[in-house]
Structure 1
């Protein structure tokens, strides 16, 4: 698993770069119709110059301020606030000499004013709820949220996004990274359990953030009442987050979700070492409980197996979504691996030994390939005698659970055959030359295999 810290490479602005508003007085200007009329007249050109998406509904000319250019000259800046018919409002700063218009939205201005009351904040009635523009952006990630407060946390320049924290009416909020031009990516939601340091949530309690995972935990295990939760890691290759869930009165587990908190998969704590392990559930207890659970699931196959260990090898990416589980038990000499269907599925379990697993290009952990090759040496000697196995090529699964193999001998003899279901002999085995002459569906593929030249009068069978 390729895991990386979520905030790796993220650089927040340590200090906000403010325009002319920094020099304005703390008191908001008293609204008058002349300044409103001038603001309405100036707004369209300033909106166009700033490049912000805004169809103006109201505007107000705040006044002039001064700032110094890079060469030390003092220039006047014209400052206008606008309210947009859709989306948030803005404060626009225009440098008449250069024509450059800088902008910050009202949520950013509100946050800067909260940190330093000398900063301008939006005062038009239409901008009073400066955070309302975030609600439609948040809905795809949190359908129940109506944003009731928000603050600007800073700009992530390398990602061309602004980061905001939002609070919801009666429920947990979160963080959202909103792209700015020329970035056209979708906004990125961040759960408060992930947010740390300067980005830690202040509108959402740890309990609220934890309870946000309750519906996901129910999908993983219906009986779990979430008591604790924490974010473990993000797998950037899978675009997945991993959370530990602590359940009231029973062992917890790990859930895998999308970054937008859509449930994907469940893992028990015995499988969590690679991503930091569980803190809310004893690992040895989890291992014993999980082993018992997987042993019980194996009963559907009817195979004898006293399970001493098991390994979940993966989950089918499509179709039946069955888990591939390898079991260790003394009754199954050649190993046991089973495709187990999920609970409630009508799919059937599929049983394989390690001969079949290797033929399907999947290795076993409890029965090494070397042990399988040794058995092939025993079987070929029983069938052809004059063969010390040099190499075995497992070709696939044949009829009646046979395994198709190619065997290369040290004396250049070579054979293809079907190992019987019992793995105690061959259903059929022929020399490479015979398989070729008779155009068998399986052929010798190992370079040089079957090139043995028999003495005069003998056959290469």
Structure 2
């Protein structure tokens, strides 16, 4: 959304409009003492309809979404039509909902661009003698936005409002900043007069450092407003700072970083309705640009200790020295994580629940990962193959099998955590093996020819495997 302040064209239009609305605007009046009684009677009979009488026609002409509740004639003016100056009337209208506005009407069914009362405030800052809205329903100028703000920030009593700017391309909105009597204010994007864009609320944090940055809300107020979210993520954090990090790839949530009095801090994901979703430890936040309020070393040490505890609770011995979050399973709120730890020479990888998730931890070594997702990067397939080469030489010492290729089939149906695999040897011997859960022995090593002859569920599939011709295999 390309928001800007008043463009030159809009400012020019605003100033021209303001000039037409200037306090010095005058029009001829006939003093009462010069009007004869008969003339007064005729004038009364021909009196023009009131502003409220023509308000529905004006609303229809401007296409403003407004149910008029009050209207007034501001005064006569002149405007351009077909290159010539024509007489017109300036009206102010108040609406049941939404901003009040002022518009120039040549006739009630032929109107010029409408300007909201809030825009008139901005124009008046530049041209002090320009008009302002005066209908009680339009005052104070923030009155109309108060019920809208309540739907997003129930505790806010709006005390001030300003127009930040407007979009020039769809969705056509005016951007307003509002301030509250107590606590943080925010931003409301509201459809321009005559447009139908949806209404959106944005925290001041989202626009910090941009041309739309808030001016009514202090950093201390922002921190205070974000403490409930921080408490959901980490109740022990005494928040010292907060910043907006970014939007989720699906545009359904916002990331915020929190600094804590006692490090480390963290990043919290909030849903669009500002409710808490999950925490992202700083050590796992590189894809989000990392943390700025927490030292990287402190963050890593804390995250490693946390992950060590999670794995221990799941019955896995792993003193985490490092880890990498590969991806996220949103449906279960679990991360797919690869770990480095001395107790697991063949790696450890799998699903770990995010803080606050009640899903189960499911991790396994890289042998089993090779039979499924093949996502291990710390422990390579070559290292695993070397271990299998060592084990087949122990299991079949007289077969001279130098393993050249491995096909991982899956987890053994008879022994939990045992791995079923096919080994291909350089000399064309081949085996279906079952690797023990401790990865130190082979529970079975069945030659390809035997597996085929016995029509086992798992047979050799590597091209040419098991074609060694000598008998006595």
- TM band (smaller chain): 0.7 to 0.9
Greater Cα offset, 277-286 or 10-19: 10-19
Summarize the Cα distance change of 1:280–1:397 in structure 2 as closer, same or farther, 3 Å threshold: same
Instruction: State the partner residue of 2:406.
Output: 392
Alignment match of 1:40 (pick from 52, 64, 71): 52
Summarize the Cα distance change of 1:23–1:372 in structure 2 as closer, same or farther, 3 Å threshold: same
> Given the alignment of the two structures, is residue 105 of structure 1 paired with residue 116 of structure 2, yes or no?
yes
Summarize the Cα distance change of 1:252–1:72 in structure 2 as closer, same or farther, 3 Å threshold: same
Summarize the Cα distance change of 1:308–1:452 in structure 2 as closer, same or farther, 3 Å threshold: closer
Instruction: Measure how far apart 1:361 and its partner are.
Output: 0.7
Cα RMSD after superposing both structures = 3.7
Asked whether the equivalents of residues 13 and 156 of structure 1 are also in contact (C-alpha less than 8 Å), the reply is: no
Give the TM-score of the pair, scaled to structure 2.
Answer: 0.80
Alignment match of 1:423 (pick from 433, 436, 439): 439
- What residue ranges of structure 2 are gaps of 5+ in the alignment? 27-43
Greater Cα offset, 92-101 or 330-339: 92-101
Instruction: State the partner residue of 2:18.
Output: 22
Asked whether the equivalents of residues 36 and 59 of structure 1 are also in contact (C-alpha less than 8 Å), the reply is: no
Greater Cα offset, 422-431 or 107-116: 422-431
Instruction: State the partner residue of 2:420.
Output: 404
> Given the alignment of the two structures, is residue 74 of structure 1 paired with residue 85 of structure 2, yes or no?
yes
Asked whether the equivalents of residues 278 and 355 of structure 2 are also in contact (C-alpha less than 8 Å), the reply is: no
Distance 2:449 2:119 in 1: 79
Instruction: State the partner residue of 1:55.
Output: 67
Asked whether the equivalents of residues 138 and 144 of structure 2 are also in contact (C-alpha less than 8 Å), the reply is: no
> Given the alignment of the two structures, is residue 317 of structure 1 paired with residue 333 of structure 2, yes or no?
no
Distance 2:22 2:230 in 1: 49
Summarize the Cα distance change of 1:176–1:345 in structure 2 as closer, same or farther, 3 Å threshold: closer
Instruction: State the partner residue of 2:361.
Output: 349
Distance 1:14 1:339 in 2: 52
Instruction: State the partner residue of 2:31.
Output: none
Alignment match of 1:88 (pick from 95, 99, 112): 99
Distance 2:291 2:358 in 1: 32
Distance 1:64 1:136 in 2: 34
Instruction: State the partner residue of 1:206.
Output: 219
Deviations along 1:228-251, one digit per CA (max 9) or x if unpaired, are: 112233344454333221222443
Q: How many residues align?
A: 446
Aligned residue for 1:120, secondary structure, equals coil
Asked whether the equivalents of residues 178 and 188 of structure 1 are also in contact (C-alpha less than 8 Å), the reply is: yes
Summarize the Cα distance change of 1:380–1:299 in structure 2 as closer, same or farther, 3 Å threshold: same
Greater Cα offset, 210-219 or 339-348: 339-348
Instruction: Measure how far apart 1:124 and its partner are.
Output: 0.7
